Amino acid sequence: MAGSPVVLSTLAPLNQYLFDEYGWRGSFLILGALLLNCCVAGALFRPIGPTVLKSKKQKDKGGDKASAGFMETGKLKEKKEESCMQKFNKVLDLTLFKHRGFLIYLVGNVIMFLAFYAPIVFLTPYAKHLGVDEYSSAFLLSILAIVDMFARPLTGIVANTKWIRPRIQYFFSASVVFNGFCHLMCPIAGDYAGLVVYSVFFGLGFGMVCALLFETLMDLVGVKRFSSAVGLVTIVECVPLLIGPPLGGAIVDASGDYRYMFYACGGTIVFAGLFLFVMNYYNYRMLEKEEKERQDKEIEMKEGNGFTTENKKQALNDTDHEVKNGHEIIAEQSEPEKSSKEELNGSK
């Protein structure tokens, strides 16, 4: 994910150059043509699967046709029995909406993404509003992207340490709060130097959040359900991503000042970070409680099984003692009879 800031660092000055040379229509056509290359790259993707040898293929072809037909009919029956919802769940696991941690993550991210990209959109116009020239204003996005480029891998290294990894959700929440706090401090910057400092800290916070975005999701749902979770999160997050920048523009138009837009975005993101922090704490507490209850049940079951086996052993020991006592009584009763017989034989 550290590759996207590389293009962003060069795209901001390039956008300004294209706008000056070709106007907004021509610059949009050129940028659209560049982005269409992503479709070509996506078309070249191929799924990674196990390689099958030719000899195995020939053996499979030379197999019993009756068994192959039987397998085909069995597969057709299974396909008929599957409902549309079951087929859809193979692609997107809708049972994730019953997952407590996933719902906390989704709600927090929806709130955060309402204000996540609006500051990027309005950073350059805000600099121009303060009297900064066009190319210097565009260069602020390049500064943001360069810092973002190094912040993402460094955040990943820190997140994988033994101190942070067990509580990575708290680290993500702190990153979100830090990002929002940067936007709250942006209106204090009254000149270009202040905006450069803001861009540095904004790039740091932006890179931290982007680096941890999917790492925390995998920590919540696991590897097996991660692909479905990413698909559902991406679908839901499209709505706030689409609404956020127009809402920011509406705030600017209504107030006539960019500072209120940054205040609104910063406050929204800080609220999202605090929401994630509190709800993740609640989720961790509930998971610990559920794990403790499960362990207690296992201990009770083991103790119950041990109690019954001890009772069985005790019962077997009691029966053994009774049998031994019975043999001893019989032996004691037979000894006088033997002695009397021996006396009679001796008298004879």
Cα separations in angstroms, 259 against 183, 270, 275, 342: 9, 16, 24, 123
- Which pLDDT score is estimated for 113? 94
Helix extents (H) in the chain? 4-43, 54-61, 65-81, 84-91, 100-113, 118-129, 134-159, 168-185, 192-221, 226-255, 258-347
Is the pLDDT higher at 158 or at 64?
158
* Nearest Cα residue to 140 out of 67, 205, 200: 200
Residue 104, SS3? helix
- Which pLDDT score is estimated for 88? 63
Based on its alpha-carbon atoms, the radius of gyration of the chain, rounded to whole angstroms, reads 36
Give the model confidence (pLDDT) of 169-222 as tens digits.
999 999 999 999 999 999 988 889 999 999 999 999 999 999 999 989 998 998
Q: What is the mean pLDDT of residues 156-180?
A: 92
- Which pLDDT score is estimated for 345? 47
* Amino acid residing at 99: H
Give the model confidence (pLDDT) of 113-139 as tens digits.
999 999 998 998 999 999 998 888 888
Predicted TM-score (pTM) of this structure: 0.73
- How far apart are the C-alpha atoms of 225 and 96, rounded to whole Å? 8
Q: What is the mean pLDDT of residues 1-25?
A: 76
Superfamily for the 4-28+99-293 domain: MFS general substrate transporter like domains (1.20.1250.20)
Residue 53, SS3? coil
Give the model confidence (pLDDT) of 27-80 as tens digits.
889 988 988 988 888 888 877 766 554 444 454 555 554 455 545 555 444 545
57, two tokens = 């293929």
Q: Where are the domains of the chain?
A: 4-28+99-293
- Which pLDDT score is estimated for 244? 92
- How far apart are the C-alpha atoms of 296 and 264, rounded to whole Å? 48
Q: Select the highest-mean-pLDDT range: 92-101, 196-205, 336-345.
A: 196-205
pLDDT exceeds cutoff 80 at 148: yes
- How far apart are the C-alpha atoms of 161 and 154, rounded to whole Å? 11
Mean pLDDT of all residues in the chain? Answer: 80
Least confident among 6-15, 117-126, 261-270: 6-15
- How far apart are the C-alpha atoms of 101 and 133, rounded to whole Å? 46
- Which pLDDT score is estimated for 114? 93
- Which pLDDT score is estimated for 305? 66
Question: Which of the 8 DSSP states describes residue 213?
Answer: H
- Which pLDDT score is estimated for 31? 86
